[in-house]
Chains A and B, each alone.
Chain A
Amino acid sequence: DQQVKQNSPSLSVQEGRISILNCDYTNSMFDYFLWYKKYPAEGPTFLISISSIKDKNEDGRFTVFLNKSAKHLSLHIVPSQPGDSAVYFCAARWNSGNTPLVFGKGTRLSVIA
């Protein structure tokens, strides 16, 4: 039973345009969400997070939106750069951090120059 789903295995975007990565979840108890970026042969790197009490969090070129009623979150990258090409993982946690992070299977983003 996959609690965190990233339904698009891959996404291609032109440099300078917006990249939108989507994530759906089924567990309504999730109260904290994170996005990680992963390059080959490296561990995931934390990008941005959002608490369930918010619906938007912004950090530079990265913005995460949370729609609790739809159990959906998205990561927007504007403008996209070739260095953003990586696999992006959505992750979620509940019970105030007493449970482990649950990850989606990832979306491979390719930013084309």
Chain B
Amino acid sequence: KAGVTQTPRYLIKTRGQQVTLSCSPISGHRSVSWYQQTPGQGLQFLFEYFSETQRNKGNFPGRFSGRQFSNSRSEMNVSTLELGDSALYLCASRPLTSGGRETQYFGPGTRLLVL
């Protein structure tokens, strides 16, 4: 089975611009989560989508948004970029069966640099 894929892998933007990142989950996985990783901050949860609906949301400003398509692929968008948005953005997928005792698998991430 192919793993979680993310595009693009690297991105350079300037302040004020917007950016869209894409994630394709593992086949059969219906839940997609997004995380931001910055140095010294670990992985901070952005949001989770399941069946095209946002089911959980982290503590990020409204400039960060996402969506999920019927094929479970997901995109996240960051508008009005700030220097502090420079980070590694990670996407993760899981089947989301009952019980929740399941592993979440991560993609390689998109490295965003805001200048």
Contacts and interface: CB of A to CB of B under 8 A. Distances in A.
A25 interface: no
Interface in A67-107: 89, 91, 93, 95-106
Contacts of A34: 103-104
B56 A43 contact: no
Contacts, number: 65
B45 interface: yes
Interface residues of B, number: 30
Contacts of B101: 32, 49, 51, 97
B58 A104 contact: no
Given A32-B101, A51-B101, A100-B33, A44 B106 contact: yes
Contact of B100 (A95, A102, A104): A95
B99 A46 contact: no
B109 interface: yes
Nearest to B4: A43
A77 B66 CA distance: 38
A59 interface: no
Contacts of A89: 42-43
Nearest to A90: B42
B70 interface: no
A43 B96 contact: no
